[in-house]
Amino acid sequence: MSVQTAARHGSAGASSPARFRTTLRPPRTRRRSRRSVALTLLMGLVLLYSLAPLFWLLVNATKTQDGLLNSFGLWFDADFALGDNIARTATYDGGIFLRWFANTVLYVVLGAGGATFLAVLGGYALAKFDFPGRKAVFAVVIGAVAIPGTALAVPTFLMFSQMGLTNTPWAVIIPSLISPFGLYLMWTFASEAIPTEIMESARIDGASEARTFFQVCLPLLTPGIVTVLLFTMVATWNNYFLPLIMLKNPDWYPLTLGLNAWNAQAATAGGEAIFNLVITGSLLTILPLIAAFLLLQRYWQSGLSAGSVKE
């Protein structure tokens, strides 16, 4: 009994330093709570700064022209005219807004979709294949990322004018196919998301390189593909300077140029009657982008292949 009692006392004594060390740890709860409150307030200010223009746009798109002039800008008017404004926007000047909307969708599908496809192919090849000149290609891609698109707009215009492609949709679609940032992003993502062992296993099983890419590697690249697609889609949807110097025919305008033309018309004498159409058209312009982000956000995940291969 004495041995057992001593053992119990010994075990208790051995555990007491652990308890003692635990009690000596400095409390961090108050510090963490203060930090979290500060970060919450900061994020709240950023959120308010980001959503305030959208709220102003939504509120004023529901007003008539008289309501825009005689009511408070950050609250709704008694006359709710959102439906009438949408109908007038869609039918004004022979329905040119719908033509601009279709042009923008065309530029996004062919330009942003093609840029994403090329970025996926190029990033996958640079990440998983070794070939001469690979480092030189890396340097070119990094340099292209650092060059702003506006710096290349005038040389691109001169080149396309010599080929007779200005004032055509190809003058907007072809430059949109090049996305150095998307290529770099897919390069870095493919390097981490696709284990080399998976590709080797597919080759041992007799799969061709095309089948290995489309059936094995492409599903692992889905988060990166969606991210690049959203970046290129937003850039093409909001593209303004390139269509401005490339296009003269209003029938090929995207929404950015078309709404700017309406805004310039509204600023002239007698054109104030369409200012509410400019606001409504701006609201309709951003709705597809919001819908795309909400529908594709579940694909924003990384590391789908993490832990799939033991080292």
What integer best gives the mean pLDDT of the chain? Answer: 84
- 48 and 172 in a single domain? The answer is no
Asked if residue 271 and residue 183 are part of one domain, the reply reads yes
Asked, for residue 200, whether it belongs to a domain, the answer is: yes
Whether 128 and 36 share a structural domain: no
The verdict on residue 78 lying in a domain is no
Query: Is residue 37 a part of any domain in this protein?
Result: yes
Q: Are residues 90 and 180 in the same domain?
A: yes
Q: Tell me, what's the pLDDT at 131?
A: 87
Share of the chain above pLDDT 70, in %: 84
The secondary structure of 67-125 as a DSSP string is HHHHS-TTS--SS--HHHHHHHHHHGGGTHHHHHHHHHHHHIIIIIHHHHHHHHHHHHH
Q: Is residue 70 part of a domain?
A: no
What is the pLDDT, as a whole number, of residue 68? 84
Hey, how many other C-beta atoms are within 10 angstroms of the C-beta on 62? 20
Please determine, for residue 111, whether its predicted confidence score (pLDDT) is greater than 70.
yes
pLDDT, residue 293, reads: 87
What is the domain extent for residue 162? 84-299
Task: Give the pLDDT band (50/70/90) at residue 27.
Answer: low
Q: Are residues 156 and 266 in the same domain?
A: yes
Q: For the domain that residue 196 is a member of, what is the CATH number? A: 1.10.3720.10
Cβ 208 vs Cβ 166: under 8 Å? no
108 and 157 in a single domain? The answer is yes
Token pair recorded at residue 206? 């007799």
Cut 0.85: pTM above it: no
pLDDT band at 12, cuts 50/70/90? Answer: very low
pLDDT for residue 13: 46
Claim to verify: residue 211 and residue 149 sit in the same structural domain: yes
Q: What pLDDT is recorded for position 257? A: 95
- Same structural domain, 169 and 287: yes
Q: What is the pLDDT of residues 246-269, one digit of tens each?
A: 999 999 999 999 999 999 988 886
The predicted pLDDT at position 152 comes to: 87
Report angle CA 108, 113, 114 to the nearest 5 degrees.
115
> Is 95 found in the same domain as 44?
no
Residue type, 290: I
pLDDT tier for residue 59 given thresholds of 50, 70 and 90: very high
Residue 221 CA to residue 65 CA, distance in Å, equals 49
Residue 133 pLDDT: 87
Note whether 156 and 235 are same-domain residues. Answer: yes
